Each structure stands twice: as structure tokens, then as C-alpha cells.
Amino acid sequence: MGQFKSYKILTVGLVVLVLVFCFMMPWPELMLQWLPRSHPTTEYVSESINWDSLPQELPNLTNLLYWPLTGGHRDHFLDSTSPRTSTYHLKGPAQANYTLGSNLEAILVARDHWGRPKAHGGDLFRAQLLGPELRAGVPGEVKDLENGTYLLSFPLLWAGWARVQVRLIHSSEAVGVLQRVWRGKRATVDFRGYFQGTDGSQETVICNVDPQSTGAKGPTCQYKDVVSEEIWFCAQPPTLPCSALVGHSSGSYLKVTTSHDEALLAGNVTDQKLPSGIPPILVLPAAGGIMSNLVTGQKLTQLVVSVLRLEPRESNITALPSRPPCRPGHLSPKPSGFYHQDRWHSTFCSSRSFPTVDSILNCLAGRIVYMMGDSTLRQWWEYLRDTVPSLKPVDLHVTYQVGPLMAVETTQGTVLHWRAHSWPLRSHRTPVSSLHSVARELHGLVGGPYTVVVLGIGAHFTTFPPFIFARRLAGIRAAVKALLDREPRTLVVIKLANTGYKSVYGSDWLTLQVNRLLRAAFAGLRVAFVDAWEMTSSLDVPDNIHPRELIVRNEVELFLSFVCPT
């Protein structure tokens, strides 16, 4: 056994040296697999979007992304849903104690700023059951009854004090704005493409996911990935050829909303606009006479259930039945887990704790982990790098923001990669040679029992209509399926998108739709899911697209529970 372990470490060490060499090599143009050519804007898609013309791997988007009617376009902000007048009450009589493992239910009545009950649904509420003394929290289920009322359901999963908290993330009217922009606009952001000639001349143009969004008056350059078949467009530079594209960066946030839309989204209105008779609780002017954020993400003030005492069954302190080890292919229930004593407990598998450096190293021994996605997944790489001192970053002389990043642990033979997904990517200026599609990276992997793939994508796709992300996911799903077909022992983990954004460019409502697409895209494949949506929305902490270390640690430990289930 000792000889086998030494052989395995020696083999992985050689692999590490090869990988380091490959990552430090420049990427020749042939390996970029680009096919740049002029592309007239008139040859692209028509203005209307056919939601049924997407790849067969995804179901009909209209059904998948169903949302209750939001009541149409309101004439005044005060007619929209208000967290200050909306109320909720227990569905049944209050009890002195509640049994561990049972459910608590409440009815929420949505009201506008005048206090009038709403007659339709469509609001995005977030409900939580919190146990501050126990550092506990679990997301509640919010069922839209589509008549202005909502059924709240909370599983009682720990013994001790608990309280209910409900927040209005977006009013139904604000959701209507998000729906209209998301489905109707080609893009809400643009990007910059940097071209450089052989003589050192430089030109900068606008780039995007389709030629119309580049603002080009003439032909455009298109760049097609031959594996994923994804196409990226740039306005053709005045003098330089399409093949001279060398750099990429974020561009501008486009104006896609009216002042009325912005009031609904942010809850910001001036006191001069307020009619007489407004409830006094609303008059909260900040500096400059601006009423700051009356709606978005605000807590409901009338807490009819403030404290519960959960009565334990026998000596149990949490309602955790016998659960199988964490393996890919398990269906994730709602809720997928809860926090207790700052630790996330999965409700569908036996999630493990990795409290020491040795426990993490032993789990990752001999494994090569490929992380591909956005900066919220980069946090995992950074957490492991910072937690395990012997994991040494390899200097690849690349842009840190988009990678590729690499760290190795030579004694245990562990290699950790992180690479940003390709465009559309909001980033500082970076070489286009660093932008590899996820499908192309997966296409080049052999796979095997010591290969782990983690995908974390979604946040950068909320600025485009849903079919753009659906099309990207179809290509990635095909690549994942091919990888698992050629080597079924490969572990593939899908990290769902976080909560954190509250604007028309990146809202929690948009993220919720992105996660629906992610689940649908990988349904039926033997992959594992880490529900970062629930893990970032179960505690009473400020929303942040880059969550605090406590949450990142629990995400990583759940991931490691799939790598080392026993």
C-alpha cells in the first residue's frame, strides 16, 4: 500500500509539472479556435424571439420561467407593494411550543403603500426562520397564491428559540420591469474589444453577444468557438482586421429603464412627488430630500410571530434523519439545508465538516480540481489557497481577475485550477487568449476518479435575454455529458448562483431565473449541486454577491462532502 501511495504521488507530481508547463506556455492562434470574418448585421436574427427554437436539452422557456401576472404597469409608485404595510399572520392558532421536525405556516397579505390589499401576486418575498443565539437559519418556502396573498412555510429543524423574518426583495411591479427588460432587450451592458496592428497601432470598438448590440453601422467581426459554437461579435475596426483582436473588457451599462421604472426597482422617490394623504411612516427623507430605498430588500415591520420555542423530540437538537452520503445524482429538496452553530447541514445527504488543514488535504489528495466560472467560484479557490498553507499558487503571469489561476500541493499531489468562463465577462482589460469557453475546456479533459470539475456560471448572464444563457448551457451540458460518458467516475459539481444583486442589471429575481435554467440544463445527468442561493439567503446578514467567509467555508465543505462522501 505504501508503495502504491508513493507511486500515485510521484505520478501526480509529474502531471503537475506538465500542467505548470502547459499553463505557462503562450496560447498560439491555432489553439484559440477562432474563425474571425466580417459579418453584416442584417444577416443575424430577427427582432422577435422564438422561445421554442432552443436546443432540445432545455424545455420550453415560457413554461420553465413562468411567473404570476404582476398587475401591469402602474401609474404611481405608491400603488406598488410596500413592505411597511404588508402583513402576515400565523395560519393556525399560536402555540407555546412547537415540535421539532414539524412545519410552521403563515399567511402573508401584500398591500400597496396606501395599505390597500393587492389583488394579484408576482411579488418576490424572501422568508427566513432565524435562531440568532444558535447562529441558525433556514429559508422558508413562499408560495404565491396569485391573489395578493402568499403561503409561508418554515421547517422547524433545530431546538431552541427562533423568529420569523420576511423581506420584500422586489414588488410585483418591479418584477414586471425586470421581466420586460430581460425578455425584450438584446443587452443591458456592452463590452470593449481592443485591436492591435503589427505596427503597434490600436483601435477600440464595442463588442457584444449579437451584432446589433455592437452599434456597428457597417459589418461586424464574429468569433466562433468551434467546440461550443458560441459566437462573439465586435464592430469591425476602421482600419485593422478582425484577426487583430487582442483584448477584452467591460464596457457601459446601457440605459434601459425610465425614471418610473427606477422608482419601482429602487424605491427612491422625491418628497415633491408624494401626494397628500400619504401614510406618515413613509415620510423618511434623507439628504437632499430623497427617500432612500423604501422597498427593495426591506423587512416587513409587522412581525406577528417574533419568537418560538421549539420543543425537541427526545434528546435531539436538530431534525436530521439518517441521510445517505453526498453523491452526485441526488435530487435536492426544499430546503436543501440549514445553518446551525454556523455550520450548514444538508437535508438530503450527510454533509461533512472539514475543520482542519489535514482533513482538507486528505480529501483532496491526488486530485486535480478544475473550477470554471465567475468570481463567486473564484472565492472557493481563494478560500482553499488561504486555508491550506502548503497549497502554493503558481505564477502564470496572467490577469488575476480572469485567471487562469493554479495552486499545487506537492506532498499530497493536489492541483487546483480556476478559470473564468469566456465572454460575456464583465472584467478589467484582459488578453482574449485567457478567455476559453467552458465547453472547450471540458472537451480537453480526460476525466477519471481523481478529476473534479466545478462549474459556477450565471451572474454575468443576467444582462441578456434568457435564450442567451439557455443556448450557452445547452453547449455546456453536451460537453458535461460527453465527459461523463467517456469517464463516468469524473465528479462534476454545479454551483448555483448567489443572491446579492438588486438592480435591473443583476437582480435576485434574475438570479432566481438563472438558477431555474441551471437546474433544468443538468437534469438527468449524474452531477452534484451546491445550492448557493439558499446558502447565501438563510442568515440575517447583508446581501453580498461575494459572501462572507462563513458562507464560503460552508459552500466549500459541502463541495468537499461530494469529493469525499465518507
Cβ–Cβ under 8 Å, residues 112 and 80: yes
Angle at 361 between CA 360 and CA 366, to 5 degrees: 125
- Residue percentage of the chain with pLDDT more than 90: 60
Q: At what angle do helices 466-486 and 508-521 cross, to 10 degrees?
A: 30
Give the separation between CA 446 and CA 452, rounded to whole angstroms: 11
Distances (CA, A) of 162 to 165, 207, 291, 298, 436: 10, 50, 32, 20, 47
User: What is the pLDDT at residue 292?
Assistant: 36
Answer whether residue 371 shows pLDDT above 50.
yes
Give the separation between CA 273 and CA 75, rounded to whole angstroms: 13
Q: At what angle do helices 172-184 and 508-521 cross, to 10 degrees?
A: 60
DSSP conformational letter for 232: E
* Domains of the chain, residue spans: 77-179+259-311, 337-563
Answer whether residue 244 shows pLDDT above 70.
yes
Cβ–Cβ under 8 Å, residues 393 and 409: no
User: What is the pLDDT at residue 560?
Assistant: 98
Record: fold of 77-179+259-311: Immunoglobulin-like (2.60.40)
Cβ–Cβ under 8 Å, residues 235 and 215: yes
Look at residues 531, 523, 465, 455 and name the one whose alpha carbon lies nearest to residue 499. 531
- Across all residues in the chain, what is the average pLDDT? 83
Answer whether residue 282 shows pLDDT above 50.
no
Answer whether residue 277 shows pLDDT above 90.
no
pLDDT range class, residue 388, cuts 50, 70, 90: very high
Cβ–Cβ under 8 Å, residues 173 and 124: no
Answer whether residue 95 shows pLDDT above 90.
no
pLDDT range class, residue 502, cuts 50, 70, 90: confident
pLDDT range class, residue 566, cuts 50, 70, 90: confident
User: What is the pLDDT at residue 8?
Assistant: 45
What homologous superfamily does CATH list for 337-563? SGNH hydrolase (3.40.50.1110)
Mean pLDDT of 246-251: 94
Give the separation between CA 285 and CA 283, rounded to whole angstroms: 6
- Residue percentage of the chain with pLDDT more than 70: 81
pLDDT range class, residue 399, cuts 50, 70, 90: low
pTM of the model: 0.85
Mean pLDDT of 502-520: 93
User: What is the pLDDT at residue 15?
Assistant: 43
**Which of 36-40, 202-206, 347-351 shows the lowest mean pLDDT across its residues?**
36-40
Answer whether residue 495 shows pLDDT above 90.
yes
User: What is the pLDDT at residue 27?
Assistant: 31
**Which of 50-64, 245-259, 349-363 shows the lowest mean pLDDT across its residues?**
50-64
pLDDT range class, residue 76, cuts 50, 70, 90: confident
> 365 versus 160: which is more confidently predicted?
365
User: What is the pLDDT at residue 259?
Assistant: 81
> 425 versus 20: which is more confidently predicted?
425
Answer whether residue 536 shows pLDDT above 90.
yes
Distances (CA, A) of 519 to 66, 457, 494: 15, 12, 9
Q: pLDDT tens digit string along 429-444? A: 999 988 889 999 999 9
Answer whether residue 178 shows pLDDT above 70.
yes
> 158 versus 25: which is more confidently predicted?
158
User: What is the pLDDT at residue 62?
Assistant: 74
On the CB side of 213, CA atoms within 13 Å amount to 27
